[in-house]
Structure 1
């Protein structure tokens, strides 16, 4: 099976592509964003704690995120393979993921970074937010999310490149085209 990490800035299409890849590869797409949203919607203690960070465009603390991911990777459907979307996001999370996988006796197969044009994505996200009446999603908020990504997550690409796991894929273009690029980058066909 396949064990992947999908990296990329906000608005790069990670969620869309994760769902498509997971279906094609027959592995679960594990999204920390989905886990956080479910907890916020359900009003759990974790959801209440996470909401303040999410609303500010910041990341939920590693201790909370790591525990949620460890629990999810321990579920039976993730045993043969998985696709992580939105995790790891920090160097400490990389080390924690390494520990989790070592405990399971498995390794990552690939880390795929979806690259995009920041200005184009910010324009698209701002337009979509306005069309959907989401006044809290402003250009300033989107740019802040990109800054947080650049500071905390983008350096992970170098870590995984040093390990020989990183492949970069252009995320600009039609959804089907990007999916085909991703599958080609990991040596799979749709």
Structure 2
């Protein structure tokens, strides 16, 4: 082979392969843009700026689409995203395309470090340049290392962009779910509309441990427009404010004794004298015994009122154990609550909100739950039967999602009141 042929072979080697691949890459970008409505460079740039991830200037877009140079992987994937949307298969295809072109680019760079034109076999069989000293192996190794670092950086940028895109998709899904939930909450169904025409709604929430009374109370108070009166919260409020009943309750608890029904009723009497409950309330945590039920009726009778209905959420003991024993509370902030089955934390023992350690409350152990269930059966189940005998009881299944149980409760209340 002559010297001219050798030179031609060198000029059509890997370097030209890269140039051809770059041109093909640019042409594919141009085709992608045309197939998606040919948005202007300015439109693409503005959309990327609004997304706030990777800057896509009009000049840089022009250079990429016209094959002036190979853009970074991060730039490429964001450009494709702004043109073609969020399809992960399209992004992955362009990631692979970019990697192939980048590989040819590196190969072309390497061929210029020790090229056939710059070296040939000498009489001893070693490669040495005809017109210049042999290439320093140390220098070549440094260049190779620099190329590996550049490749890793490009791949890392691509992975980062992919993570950002995925995070955006999750955020959009969460926003859509929140919008749907808000629309649902603001939508007044026929059942809710019928309930809203009532002069008052005084409702007791009944159910065994773990039935979801607290959760349903939060949703129902917003839908029905009446406050929720939770006896535990009422107790803490009275103790913190140092009211007469609160001081009594504190002293009794410090002795380890049970709080008499009269103390609860004194707290409740004060709470029900406030104007916010004049049109009704949701009462959670009381009555737990027939005696408390009778005292409650007498208390309301003082004001010329009565309980309109008792809403009973029904679940099995196995389900109660499963729900309560699976609860985990953050040690840093007890308001961060999770469930190992229904709302899993980040890890088995890590809070998804702040990263704090999680714990199971002593009251949430299986044995405690079983004991609480037995207390419920002995003392509170007769209260449920009592309201049923008086025709003031509605029972709904406590199984399913929060929304499903809420819908069942609203439907049952509307049907009861007619």
The alignment status of 1:62 with 2:261, answered yes or no, reads yes
- TM-score using structure 2 length: 0.41
**For residues 7 and 59 of structure 1, what CA distance do their matches in structure 2 show?**
21
Could you say what secondary structure the match of 2:312 adopts?
A: strand
The alignment status of 1:133 with 2:370, answered yes or no, reads no
1:75 counterpart (267, 274, 299): 274
Once the two structures are overlaid, the 10-residue window that deviates more, 64-73 or 151-160, is 64-73
**For residues 19 and 128 of structure 1, what CA distance do their matches in structure 2 show?**
19
Q: Tell me how far 1:148 sits from its aligned partner.
A: 1.1
Higher RCO structure (Cα 8 Å, ≥6 apart): 1
Higher radius of gyration, 1 or 2:
2
Equivalences for 1:168-183 in 2 at 5 Å? 168-183=395-410
Q: Tell me how far 1:69 sits from its aligned partner.
A: 1.3
Could you say what secondary structure the match of 1:3 adopts?
A: strand
**Distance verdict in 2 for CA 1:24–1:59, change over 3 Å:** farther
Equivalences for 1:1-190 in 2 at 5 Å? 1-38=200-237, 45=247, 46-47=249-250, 49-50=252-253, 60-129=259-328, 132-137=358-363, 138-187=365-414
| Contact kept in structure 1, 2:288 and 2:380, CA below 8 Å | yes
Q: Tell me how far 1:129 sits from its aligned partner.
A: 4.0
Cα RMSD of the aligned pairs, angstroms, is 2.3
- TM-score using structure 1 length: 0.86
Could you say what secondary structure the match of 2:377 adopts?
A: helix
Please list every run of 5 or more consecutive structure 2 residues that lacks an aligned counterpart in the other structure.
1-199, 330-348, 350-357
Q: Tell me how far 1:47 sits from its aligned partner.
A: 3.9
Q: Tell me how far 1:150 sits from its aligned partner.
A: 1.1
What is the aligned residue count?
184
| Contact kept in structure 1, 2:252 and 2:258, CA below 8 Å | no
Q: Tell me how far 1:7 sits from its aligned partner.
A: 0.3
Once the two structures are overlaid, the 10-residue window that deviates more, 132-141 or 158-167, is 132-141
Please list every run of 5 or more consecutive structure 1 residues that lacks an aligned counterpart in the other structure.
none
Q: Give the equivalent residue in structure 1 for 2:156.
A: none
